Structure 1
C-alpha cells in the first residue's frame, strides 16, 4: 500500500510553532503521516518515554496491547532501578493467541504464558505491579481494557489512542493529549483502583 500523500495541487500549510499553542496545561501530540509539519507537537513515543523517565513518586500506565520488546520499557526500567520508592502500576489485557482460542487452553495457562513473556522484558529489577483485565482471557466474557493512559505523580495525565507499540508510535495516525491537572489525575486513579477492588483487574503472577 502506497504512503498517503496530499494531492499535488493542494496548498501546503506552514509548520506551526510552539508559540501558536496557547495552553501550557494541555498539549496534543500526533503520530503518523504529515506530523513532521506540526513541529510544535510531540509524538506519543516521546510523551511515553518522558513520562516513564520523569516519574518520582508514582506511575500508572494502561494500554490495550504492548510490544514484547525491551526498548518499549527501557526508560521505565532505568527509572525504577534508580528511583527508590517509585510505585509503578501497569494495566494490560492478556490477549489469547490464535491457537489459544479454544476451551482446552485454560485461562490460567494463557495468563502464565503472558506473564513469563512479559517478565523476560526486564522492566526494572524491582518489578512493578502488573494487572490484567480478567475478561480478556475468558472466552465467555465480553469487554476488555481498551484505555490508553498514563498518570505521573498524580499530577500529569496522558490520554491517547496510541498503544505501547512501535506501530502506534511510528506508523499509525494516533492522537493524544497531555494534561497537567491533579483533579483529573486523581479521578482517573480512583477509577483504576475501583476496577482492581471489583476484581475486573487482577494482579499478574510473577
Structure 2
C-alpha cells in the first residue's frame, strides 16, 4: 500500500478490515480469504458474487465498503495480498469487543448479527460446558439440535428454565444427561436469557428460545467474548445452582 496519509485523511481499508475481523468467526474468515486468493482485484467477479451471496445483517454493506476502499486506496493490490493481510491478523487473536445481536427487521447498513444464527454459533463453540437460561422456549429446532450435537461430543449442559411457561417441553428430545433446573418457590420467576459456552463466550439478550424471539420479534442482545466478563457470569449461575443456596432445583 502507498505511504500513510495525514491524520486528517487516514486510510479506511485497514480499519474496515479490522472491523470485519472482529465480526466474522474464523471459519467464515477462511472462506473469504479463499475467495480473495483467487481474485485479481476489487472488481473481480468472484468478489462481487461472494458479496451478493451474503445474508447476514449488514455484511453485504460492510464488504461493499471494503471493496470501495480497496479500489480507491490500494487498486494495485491483488486479492491474494488482501487475503494474506486478513490471515495475518487472524493468526494473532485478540479479545473481541461486545457485539450487537438483533432479531426482527434490520436495515442493510446495520452491522449486527441475527440472534438465531449467533445462538447456534455460541452453542457450537462449547467444548466442555454449556449454561443456557430462558424464560420461555418453544420450537427453536436449530438450537435444540445444536445442543444435542454438543451433548454428543461430551459437553455438559445445564438448562435453567421457567417452570410456569413449561419451557422444558421444548427440550424433551435431548438425552437425559442434560440437566434441567427450575426456580425454587418464591414470588419471582426465572427471567434471565443467556447462552454461555465454557467460560469464554456468552450471548445475553431479551430473546427467549422461541422461533418468534429468535427471528421475528424485535429483540436486542450482545455477545461477550472476553473471559474476564464471562467468568463472573458463570460463577453467579453456579452459585444459583448450588443446592445449599436453595435457589434452583434440578428436575
State the TM-score, normalizing by the size of structure 2.
0.57
Distance, in Å, in 1 between the alignment partners of 2:101 and 2:223 is 8
1:15-63 alpha-carbon deviations (Å, 9 max, x no partner):
852789xx93221011112x15245321111111111222111111111
Distance, in Å, in 1 between the alignment partners of 2:129 and 2:248 is 19
Distance, in Å, in 2 between the alignment partners of 1:93 and 1:142 is 13
- 1:180 maps to which residue? 225
- 1:28 maps to which residue? 100
Q: 1:129 deviation in Å?
A: 1.1
Highest RCO, 1 vs 2 (Cα 8 Å, sep ≥ 6): 1
- 1:90 maps to which residue? 159
Distance, in Å, in 2 between the alignment partners of 1:170 and 1:69 is 10
Contact 2:157 2:179 in 1 (8 A): yes
Contact 2:138 2:170 in 1 (8 A): no
- 1:153 maps to which residue? 198
Q: Which of these residues, 51, 54, 60, is aligned with residue 122 of structure 2?
A: 51
Distance, in Å, in 1 between the alignment partners of 2:211 and 2:225 is 25
Distance, in Å, in 2 between the alignment partners of 1:31 and 1:168 is 7
> Which structure shows the bigger proportion of residues in helix conformation?
2
Q: For structure 2, which runs of at least 5 residues remain unmatched after alignment? A: 1-59, 67-94
Q: How does 1:192-203 map to 2 (within 5 A)?
A: 192-197=237-242, 198-203=245-250
- 2:179 maps to which residue? 129
1:80-112 alpha-carbon deviations (Å, 9 max, x no partner):
11x13x111111110167xxxxxxxxxxxxxxx
State the TM-score, normalizing by the size of structure 1.
0.69
Q: Based on CA coordinates, which of the two structures has the bigger radius of gyration? A: 2
Distance, in Å, in 1 between the alignment partners of 2:165 and 2:127 is 34
SS in 2 for 1:95: helix
- 2:207 maps to which residue? 162
Q: 1:69 deviation in Å?
A: 5.7
Distance, in Å, in 1 between the alignment partners of 2:171 and 2:225 is 31
Contact 1:72 1:165 in 2 (8 A): no
Contact 2:96 2:226 in 1 (8 A): no
Contact 2:120 2:142 in 1 (8 A): no
Distance 1:160 1:167, change over 3 A: same
Distance 1:96 1:28, change over 3 A: closer
Distance, in Å, in 2 between the alignment partners of 1:119 and 1:179 is 25
